[in-house]
Amino acid sequence: RICIALLFLIWIGGMLYFFVSNKDENDKGEISVEERNKHIDNGKLSREKDRIERDINVANIVKDPKFRNNEQIDQRSLAKFDWKGYQLRGALKPGEDKNQRNAYNQEASELLPWDRVVPDVRDPGCRKKSYDKNLPTTTIIICFHNEGRAALLRTVVSALNKSPEHLLKEIILVDDFSDNPLDGEELLALPRVKLIRNNQREGLIRSRVKGADMAVGEVLTFLDSHCECNEMWLEPLLQAIKDNRKIVASPIIDVIGHEDFKYLSSSSDLRGGFGWNLNFKWDFLPPNHLIKHQQDGTAFILSPVIAGGLFSIHKSWFEELGKYDPQMDVWGGENLEISFRTWQCGGEMYIIPCSRVGHVFRDRHPYKFPGGSMNVFQKNTRRAAEVWMDDYKKYYFAAVPSARYSLFGDIRDRLQLRKDLNCKSFKWYLENIYPELKIPDDDVTSYGQIKYKGREDCINAVGEKSNVVLRVLPCRGSGGKDGDKQDWSWTKSNQIKHESLCLSGISKKSEEIVRMVPCVATDNFQKWKYDEKAAALINLGSNLCLDNYNVGKELMQTECKGHDTQSWKLAFTSTG
Ligand code: UD2
Ligand code: MN
């Protein structure tokens, strides 16, 4: 109970800090990498599943997929659109939980005008940039499944308002079988808007391909259905692609708070990355890239992977490159897949800092996953790993053991595509594009979680590099949110390792706090023995036992007396 109370206090403190530090939306008080990663973590799905699954009303009239295109674009005008009426007909009902339907505060979203002004948070250097007059045209593709009307409308309207007329061919909405077909149909009254409605749930991956196939613009620009485009967001993306047809160009993704819908500037020192669990995450720019970025805040940022939702790509390059894997369902995995494919098959990926688009990052999925969220995410990810990662997929299996058993279907078409495009190896990708991703050592004999008293609490390595402390917190499962903080491995020299650090007893002193230090295979204080019978972890340098004596505080080593606070279970899998 003390532990829960403590966590609660930490959480309150964190929230306070977060809100205070983001008080002024115009200041450069940017959102932290942890905060952004928190919202894009993929693994927490299954735990949340019961809570999030909404009943989809199957009694809906199923309509054929259709593509409606009002020829008289000019007769439809933005000014005549009854935005309040549109929103009202799908608005939050009295007594309805405001966070339930969308996993964001729908009430806050509906209180904002459809064309609200957002702060121009671009690097000052961006205002001095000029772009060619004859940029390629684009089609904006927005897939949605039961998106809140206010957010969906703001996405479309901000795109209309912030894009030069001559560059925007059309906005294709792909309604992925939302409960109410009118959510999309009523938007056909807006200029340039076209609509495809799926007659069954397809997921965002196949839906995007449908939109892409219909597109008449030269460049495809994908957006999520809860975005707001910022000043001059489109030109930098199109210019990058005009200059190099094989560039996949992403904006900096600003944060629209899911609680208050404030538009917050994101740090421009971040780029897309992933760990061996193949969850997307934001990485700080590595030093050599950071220097370049600090010299010129408008320079392209090389990104090993894209977040997935917001990017432009030349239509012909998208097609040549194999669009998306059509056997990926619902959500997830496609972002890493298109990233590996782009880099390995001769393309490039950049974040273009002068382009900024806000996005509502959420903590959970508001929609149901036919097939179960974890299964679907794992299937998609495994397909990506099988096709693109060569032997390196073994590190994925090591990080997410259950992925070995996922049913991932037939991948022959995608392997053929890789062959036809003459793509480079994953080794090449790691060495040249993402050398920062460290390859796990082969001196590891087993890996997994260390459970306190063999129950539902696990040892976590909390904090950054030089200041990692150990805490016992609820087990989350590898791949889950913060699950990687609970990943431990046992080495051939009997070290207990997390990332590049090893658990050390430090000295012979009893009641000494144990610490994470750089691994040295010969240091006896870093060597441990697991006594199966006593369920104790004994340090070979001090002969003392790992102890959670001060519950909720850091771990220490104490004399081995068989106390239950000295009881640990290694939930480990062998690498062999
Ligand atoms: C991120 C991406 C998202 C996608 C995803 C991985 C950003 C900002 N977002 O997750 O675009 O790449 O990672 O797959 O980079 N949708 C459907 N049908 C479905 C499920 C979702 O149409 O079955 C729509 C949904 O309404 C939304 C979009 O697809 O417009 C992305 O879904 P999300 O917002 O839940 O994904 P997000 O932002 O967590
Ligand atoms: Mn989204």
| Residue in 406, 389, 281, 404 with CA at minimum distance from that of residue 343 | 389
pLDDT class of 541 with cuts at 50, 70, 90? very high
Given this model, what pLDDT does residue 139 score? Answer: 98
* ipTM of the complex as predicted: 0.99
Percent of the chain scoring above 90 in pLDDT: 72
Stronger pLDDT, 70 or 475, i.e. the higher one: 475
Residue 145 near residue 101 (C-beta atoms within 8 A): no
What is the mean pLDDT of the segment spanning 1-12? 68
Q: Which ligand is nearest to the CA of 278?
A: 1
As given in the structure block, the two tokens for residue 53 are 């699954």
Atom of ligand 1 nearest to the CA of 142: 30
Atom of ligand 1 nearest to the CA of 202: 23
DSSP string, 110-126: HHS-TT------S-GGG
CA of 375 to the centre of ligand 2 (A): 20
Which secondary structure element, helix H or strand E, spans residue 150, and what is its range? helix 149-162
What pLDDT is attached to residue 445? 85
Segment 487-499 shows an average pLDDT of: 89
Nearest ligand to the CA atom of 335: 1
Section 238-261 average pLDDT: 98
Cβ contacts of residue 474 below 8 Å, gap of 6+? 456, 457, 458
Torsion of CA 32, 38, 40, 46, to 10 degrees: 180
Cα distance between residue 543 and residue 275, in whole Å: 35
pLDDT at 351 over 70: yes
* C-alpha to C-alpha distance for 120 and 253, rounded to whole angstroms: 13
**Looking at the predicted structure, is the pLDDT value of residue 47 above 80?**
no
Distance from residue 533's CA to the centre of ligand 2 (Å): 49
328 vs 39, residue with greater confidence: 328
> Is pLDDT at 191 greater than 60 in this prediction?
yes
d(CA 379, CA 373): 10
Mean pLDDT, rounded, for 555-562: 95
Residue 78 has pLDDT above 90, yes or no: no
Ligand 1 closest atom vs CA 226? 30
Measured between alpha carbons, how far is 260 from 229 in angstroms, rounded to an integer? Answer: 18
The 3-state DSSP class for residue 444 equals strand
Whether 197 contacts 165, CB under 8 Å: no
C-alpha of 258 from chain center: 15
pLDDT, mean over the chain: 87
Position 447 pLDDT exceeds 90: no
Quick check: 192 pLDDT over 60? yes
Question: Is pLDDT above 80 for 4?
Answer: no
Higher pLDDT, 429 or 488: 429
Residue with CA closest to ligand 1 atom 13: 308
Percent of the chain residues past pLDDT 70, beyond the cut: 85
Q: How far is the CA of 144 from the centre of ligand 2 (A)?
A: 10
Helix extents (H) in 404-452: 412-420, 426-432
The CA distance from 122 to 427, in Å, is 36
Please indicate, yes or no, whether the overall pTM of this predicted structure exceeds 0.80. no
Cβ proximity of 377 and 335 under 8 Å:
no
pLDDT for residue 490 is more than 70: yes
Q: What are the residues whose beta carbons fall under 8 Å from the beta carbon of 433, sequence distance 6 or more?
A: 302, 304, 343
- Per-residue pLDDT of 352-391, as tens digits, reads 999 999 999 999 999 999 988 889 999 999 999 999 999 9
The SS3 assignment for 432 reads helix
Measured in angstroms, how far is the CA atom of residue 145 from the centroid of ligand 2? 11
Which residue has better confidence, 144 or 56? 144
324 and 223 Cβ atoms separated by less than 8 Å:
no
CA 374 to chain CA centroid, Å, is 15
Closest protein CA for atom 24 of ligand 1: 144
**Which burial class, exposed, middle or buried, applies to 189 when counting CB atoms under 10 A from its CB (0-12, 13-18, 19+)?**
middle
Nearest alpha carbon, ligand 1 atom 28: 224
**Which of 381, 247, 409 is CA-nearest to residue 321?**
247
241: phi then psi, degrees, rounded to nearest 5 = -75, -35
CB 491 within 8 A of CB 441: yes
Around ligand 1, the residues with Cβ closer than 6 Å are 143-145, 147, 176, 201, 203-204, 207, 224-225, 253, 307-310, 330-332, 334-335, 359, 365, 367
Long-range residue pairs from 454-457, CB within 8 A, at least 24 positions apart, any chain: 454/535, 454/567, 454/568, 454/569
Lowest mean pLDDT among 32-46, 454-468, 549-563: 32-46
Predicted confidence at residue 19, as pLDDT, reads 47
Give dist(CA 236, CA 233) in Å, integer.
7
Indicate the SS3 state at residue 533.
Answer: coil
Residue 224 Cα: closest atom of ligand 1: 30
Q: Identify which of 281, 331, 380 to mutate to test ligand 1's pocket (most ligand atoms within 8 A of the CB).
A: 331
Of residues 342, 315, 317, 341, the one with CA closest to residue 415: 341
Q: Is 2 exposed, middle or buried (0-12, 13-18, 19+ CB in 10 A)?
A: exposed
Write the DSSP string, 190-246: STTEEEEE-SS--BHHHHHHHHHHH--SSEEEEE-SSEEE-TT-HHHHHHHHHH-TT
What integer is the mean pLDDT of 123-152? 97
Q: Give me the pLDDT at residue 454, please.
A: 73
Question: Residue 334 CA: which ligand 1 atom is closest?
Answer: 14
Measuring CA to CA, how many Å separate 383 from each of 68, 350, 379, 414, 575? 34, 24, 6, 9, 22
Nearest alpha-carbon partner for 318 in 209, 472, 237: 209
What confidence tens digit (pLDDT) does each residue in 59-72 have? 222 233 333 333 33
Atom from ligand 1 closest to the CA of residue 307: 15
* Ligand lying nearest the CA atom of residue 333: 1
Q: Answer whether residue 130 shows pLDDT above 90.
A: yes
Asked whether the beta carbons of 491 and 445 are under 8 A apart, the reply is: yes
Q: What is the mean pLDDT of residues 234-255?
A: 98
Nearest bound ligand to CA 363? 1
Indicate if the pLDDT at residue 498 is higher than 60. yes
CA of 309 to the centre of ligand 1 (A): 6
Q: Is the torsion defined by CA of 23, 25, 30, 34 positive or negative?
A: positive
User: Which residue did the predictor score with more confidence, 573 or 342?
Assistant: 342
For ligand 2, the distance from its centroid to the CA atom of residue 359, given in whole angstroms, is: 7
Query: Span 435-450, mean pLDDT?
Result: 85
- The mean per-residue pLDDT over the stretch 513-537 comes to 94
Q: Whose CA is nearest to atom 8 of ligand 1?
A: 309
What pLDDT does residue 482 have? 63
Distances in Å between the Cα of 374 and the Cα atoms of 210, 224, 285, 477 are 25, 21, 30, 12
Ligand nearest to the CA of 308: 1
Q: Is 496 helix (H, G, I), strand (E, B) or coil?
A: strand
Q: In the predicted model, what is the mean pLDDT of residues 169-178?
A: 97
Higher confidence at residue 377 or residue 75? 377
For the chain, first and last CA: distance in Å?
40
Q: Which two tokens stand for residue 419?
A: 């062959």
DSSP state of 56: P
Residue 54 has pLDDT above 50, yes or no: no
DSSP 352-403: EEEEEEEE---SS--S--TT-HHHHHHHHHHHHHHHH-GGGHHHHHHHSGGG
Are 516 and 501 within 8 A, CB to CB?
yes
> Collapsing DSSP states into helix, strand and coil, what is residue 143?
strand
Closest ligand 1 atom to 143 CA:
22
Which mutation among 140, 171, 204, 373 tests ligand 1's pocket best, with the greatest number of atoms within 8 A of CB? 204
pLDDT score of 456 more than 90: no
